[in-house]
Structure 1
Amino acid sequence: MTDSGRVADAGGPAQADGPPHADGPPQGDGLGQADGIGQADGAGWAETPAWAGGPPDPDRPADAPLPTLCATEPTQPLGAGGTTEPTPAAGGGESVISGREVWSFVSAPQLRPMRVAVTTHRSGTAPGQIFVAPYSRSTMVGQTGTLILGDGGEPVWFRPLPSPGLRNADFRVQTWYDPTTGTSQPVLAWWQGPVAETPGGAESCFYVYDSQYRLRQTVTARHGFRADADEFLLTQRGTALFIASRVEPMDLRPYGGPTDGAILNSEVQEVDLSSGELLFSWNVREHVDPAESQVPASDAVHSGGVWDAYQVNSVDEGPDGQLLISARNTWAVYAVDRDGGAVQWRLGGRRSDFTLDAPASFAWQRDARFRSGNRISLVGDGCCDQPGGPPEQPSYGLTLDLDFDNRRATVDRTYHHKPALSSRSQGNLQALPNGNEFVGWGQSPYYSEYAGDGNARGDGQRNLLYDARMPGENVSSRAFRSEWVGTPYYPPSVAVRRDGAQSVVHASWNGSTQTRAWQLLAGPDPESLTVVVEHAMRTGFETTVGTANPGPYFQVRALDQDRAVLSTSAMVRLDG
């Protein structure tokens, strides 16, 4: 079996992404597993990560740089008294890695993703896989990390993190644009950092992986800010827009807070992915008076003296370059002119430029997005009764029509869950290509898909096409559905055991979306392998194939829908 591996990027930081602290499933006598791996075509010099099931790539030049990945250790939570590991309550420091709610695989014992329960699956869902980044602030069921799932809840690709005190966020398919060549390609992108978020953030960054699951780029925040988990958006200009935060000292007395207080400031930053140059920044404190906040400055005494007045949590870009920025704690969405940074209009909050009737009003919102036809969408979170404010309400997805002539906002559609969910934070509403809407419920352990017409409060089953629940108290800050083709640069994993007169082979290929069947080879020595099972249909993440051939050498080939060989595993020897 393998030890740890590394992921590297030819152009940037990379670090040992060691295996999670999990023992593999029980392995009886006579279990064989590959000690070394054959290299997939086109692997370059990137090393095989531990989660792929193999050791470092032997073809990587010995002097190739391997800088450090960000956020590979949990941060110290507030009040931890100098400990290096977060407490379970503050940092999600415990995990359950066995049992009926956790997947385990003989051929990939280092992978222990959560099992989700699919409770509704009707016809009419959009094509594609589901993308989540599970974590927990209490006891994690399975491992934290980035997880692609099929409609039935089975894993497609999983990249676990080495500690339940670390998490990923905003995991989704995006498009990488190269403006110099005019080309583009689908990629995976996400944030990585600690579960225990301290004001201003601990070490954190954004990752971009290509379709072969190679680390292509690591992006960090500038100006002394820390990368924020809420947003990372690739643009057609070959840049990345994201949110970053920083604690800044501030006399909070004018707002009812302490003299020696501080405010959590946020910037929207844009970085050129080719040069790394910071091209644009928009500082919320410079453009929005903290008096707009719905959170009393006196609350700073409960958060280490830091007032979270804004909590900027999403940024979107319109076709004319206008930015749409959501600040949860002001209950407002801001349209920003990127040329000068001026706020062109506000929707919601204390200084709204639009009249919102009662159904259109929202609070503690997230994920504000431009939609076609003068519409926007967002998620209204159920949170935090405030004196004089609206009562706490269930979370819901919302699209609004904006009448710019009369400065009036009205409800277009809403998306509610049954049972009603009250997520205090996080969540997203994704428009799907077939007109459906996909909802990640943030701090509630669900994700759902609805026909585009939506539903009403108290009628959450109407137009519900898909619904799934994560185990325990696992959550994902956002959830997405997208079509994805993964062609791993590393080869398939294989393990074999003896069961009476049968040799039982277990085959998997973490992240392959094109494998449809497996071919099994066996023989008395490495030079004499022959095909003993021509075509065994893939039955999920891991496929089990039996043969009367005693081996003791075995190997598998991954086949596509035309029975062409995609890749070949390493050879494994079964002793005994």
Structure 2
Amino acid sequence: MLMHGLLISLVAISGVRADFGPYEQSTAYDDGDYGGWPTESFRSTPVIGPSLNILQNSDLCNDGYIMLAPEGNAVRTPGPMIIDQDGHLVWTKQYGQTRDVSVYQFKGDPYLTFCVGPHFIAGYGDASTCYMLDSSYEEVYKIRGANDLAVDLNDFHITRDDTALLTVRNHVQTDLQSVDRPEDGWIVDGVFQEVNIETGELLFQWQAAEHFNFTEAYPELEDTGTEANPWDFFHISGLDKDEKGNFLVSSASMNCLAYIDGQSGDVIWKVGGKDNMFEDLSDGDTTTIIQPYRARFTEDGNAITLFDTTESASRGLFLDVDQEKMTVQVRYQYLNPTDLTTKFGGSVQLLDNSNVLVSYGSSAAWTEYSLEGNPLCEVHFGSAFQFNDDRIASQHVSKHAWTGHPKTPPTLKLIGYEAVVSWNGATEVVTWALEGSSTIPTNKKNLSEQFTLITAQFKEGFETVLSIPPDTSEHVFRVVAFDRDGNPLGSSDPVAWNPTPEEMAAVGAMTAAQKWKLFVFFLVGFLSAAALAVGVWVIRRRLTRGVVKLEQSEEEYERARGVWKPAADPDYNGDERLSDDEIGLLENQAETNSRTSIEKEALKREEEL
């Protein structure tokens, strides 16, 4: 508690400087003046983070962390990213082209999940891997496709049964005569697998070509259907599993949702597409969905959320589904205020606070809405000028609670009289404390006893700068991270500090010898001034006494010295101050006495001559 109080006291008198942070309603940002993917670099680490443009903000959005994976030609350092409520980077790692960053519970513990593979703009990845990281960002599980099939990264979902659902790609030669193509044509079969996360064992596999007719597909074959360029007739764009053990599959190529029996693989029903089985109570607004993404059951299967890439204005949908009466209708829809559209990707997520997060795939943006559809917050992570041009996208964006405790230490860099610190992935840091030592410690077991507290500041943003006091005598520094209760979370490695003479001069810092010389200079100057003042006072004192004695009688002189005392006088009231008349009389008398003395001296000289 004592350390906590001391840190608070130091922070209260210290200024906080951090990374630049997001833009706010920047027209230049959306016009592309800062590039397709504006980023932010830091001095303490080579990590690069996104620089956001916050168009609309609200305190109602201030919970949870944003998870995204920027992809596209403009992204120089692709990988999973976590962003805090204020738009600052929390964690990233350059894994390469990444998709589907999220947080799932697995056997009671939270895991950060994402999938990594080659460039995905075409929608596929070869020999890709899905990762599950624990709260220290250690890779605990790696999931790949079973039966030598490659994960295609369109969706990765952990079920309530602690199994993993993943989409895979499978090029298959098949008869395409039903769509006026040769019988030896080629397709990309829409396949999903359910696998055991710990062992990789295949639990269930489903193939669209065994249950759907090719004539239900909307994309024209054009120059596809060959071995070199197979036809993507189904394109799985979302997976879910309900409590009955059945699966909800989104098909972007057939513009429908399909409910699949978890035992036989048979199609139980379809919403939308050419073979829609539901009565649309919203006058066709539901069953005309286009390229749906990320359909998820909610409310025990009585409702579905999904992203609809309708060309006029992409939107999120909250649907009421009656599986007995076979009716469907729109309960809520989530339309972006600027009528955003997307070529691919997008997602809808119901948040714990009842808000709804909608992301827009190839348009690098997300919007958080109230449940009823009122926009609360809107953020761009790429230039709006380059939406849908393959330069910047994120197929899905999600939001979750997350606590990160990285095993790597904080990173400290000393630049002149600034200590620049960051800790990639740490979410609990509230205060940074700068500690100093005269030498690099040799005993690492008791480092806290070898360092003394120099200053402290609140953490703000990804990177914080602490000012080193100019009079600091220590030559080795480290930083210690503290949580909101004052408990230490971790410390950086000790770093030697050797500021240049120019850096020292810039802040007015001096060595011990320089400080001693300055002290002697001021001391000599003070003593000289004091001696001069005393000498002046003595001279003035003597001169004053001589003049008074010359101009006054002995009695007046003695009175001025404090020796003379007045004679007893019954009319004397104790006031020795002279009246104006008395002062004038004395001055006339003194002048007369002076003239008399001068005249007598002159007569004496004449007589002598």
Counterpart position of 1:344: 268
Counterpart position of 1:233: 157
Task: Choose 422-431 or 366-375, whichever is displaced more.
Answer: 366-375
| Cα separation, 2, equivalents of 1:420 and 1:378 | 17
Cα shift readout 1:416-462 (whole Å, capped 9, x = no counterpart): 112111101101000011211001111111011000001xxxxxxxx
Q: Paired residue for 1:112, among 44, 48, 51?
A: 48
Preserved contact between residue 456 and residue 466 of structure 2 (Cα < 8 Å): no
| Cα separation, 2, equivalents of 1:302 and 1:414 | 39
Q: Does 1:371 align with 2:298?
A: yes
Counterpart position of 2:439: 525
| Cα separation, 1, equivalents of 2:259 and 2:140 | 32
One-letter amino acid matched to 1:376: I
**Correspondence 1:405-484 to 2 at 5 A:** 405-454=324-373, 463-472=374-383, 473-484=391-402
User: What root-mean-square deviation, in Å, do the aligned CA atoms of Structure 1 and Structure 2 show?
Assistant: 2.2
Q: TM-score, normalised by structure 1?
A: 0.74
| Cα separation, 1, equivalents of 2:413 and 2:436 | 13
**Correspondence 1:521-560 to 2 at 5 A:** 521-527=435-441, 529-548=450-469, 549-560=472-483
Identity over aligned residues, as a percent? 26
Q: Evaluate the alpha carbon distance shift between residue 254 and residue 139 of structure 1 in structure 2; reply closer, same or farther with a 3 A threshold.
A: same
Of Structure 1 and Structure 2, the greater strand share is in 1
* Partner secondary structure for residue 539 of structure 1: coil
Q: Does 1:274 align with 2:198?
A: yes
Cα shift readout 1:316-353 (whole Å, capped 9, x = no counterpart): 11122221001111111111111111111111111111
Preserved contact between residue 186 and residue 225 of structure 2 (Cα < 8 Å): no
| Cα separation, 2, equivalents of 1:98 and 1:573 | 38
How far off is 1:291 after superposition? 1.9
How far off is 1:101 after superposition? 2.7
One-letter amino acid matched to 2:298: R
Look at both structures and tell me which one has the larger radius of gyration over its CA atoms.
2
How far off is 1:261 after superposition? 2.9
Q: Paired residue for 1:305, among 194, 207, 229?
A: 229
One-letter amino acid matched to 1:111: V
One-letter amino acid matched to 1:359: D
Counterpart position of 1:322: 246
How far off is 1:402 after superposition? 1.8
Preserved contact between residue 190 and residue 236 of structure 2 (Cα < 8 Å): yes
Cα shift readout 1:346-400 (whole Å, capped 9, x = no counterpart): 1111111112232223111111111216111111113xxxxxxxxx321100111
How far off is 1:126 after superposition? 5.7
Of Structure 1 and Structure 2, the greater helix share is in 2
* Partner secondary structure for residue 49 of structure 2: coil
| Cα separation, 2, equivalents of 1:231 and 1:216 | 20
Preserved contact between residue 232 and residue 253 of structure 2 (Cα < 8 Å): yes
Q: Does 1:566 align with 2:489?
A: yes
How far off is 1:197 after superposition? 5.6
Q: Evaluate the alpha carbon distance shift between residue 378 and residue 395 of structure 1 in structure 2; reply closer, same or farther with a 3 A threshold.
A: same
Q: Paired residue for 2:79, among 119, 122, 145?
A: 145
How far off is 1:269 after superposition? 0.7
- Name structure 1 gaps, 5 residues minimum: 1-95, 178-183, 383-391, 455-462
Q: Does 1:393 align with 2:306?
A: no
Q: Evaluate the alpha carbon distance shift between residue 159 and residue 544 of structure 1 in structure 2; reply closer, same or farther with a 3 A threshold.
A: same
Counterpart position of 2:413: 495
Q: Evaluate the alpha carbon distance shift between residue 281 and residue 123 of structure 1 in structure 2; reply closer, same or farther with a 3 A threshold.
A: same
How far off is 1:300 after superposition? 1.1
Preserved contact between residue 517 and residue 560 of structure 1 (Cα < 8 Å): yes
Q: Evaluate the alpha carbon distance shift between residue 234 and residue 395 of structure 1 in structure 2; reply closer, same or farther with a 3 A threshold.
A: same
* Partner secondary structure for residue 215 of structure 2: helix
* Partner secondary structure for residue 358 of structure 1: coil
How far off is 1:154 after superposition? 0.6
How far off is 1:519 after superposition? 1.0
| Cα separation, 2, equivalents of 1:196 and 1:412 | 33
One-letter amino acid matched to 1:105: F
Q: TM-score, normalised by structure 2?
A: 0.70
| Cα separation, 2, equivalents of 1:375 and 1:534 | 55
Q: Paired residue for 2:285, among 347, 350, 359?
A: 359
Cα shift readout 1:401-428 (whole Å, capped 9, x = no counterpart): 1233432211111001121111011010
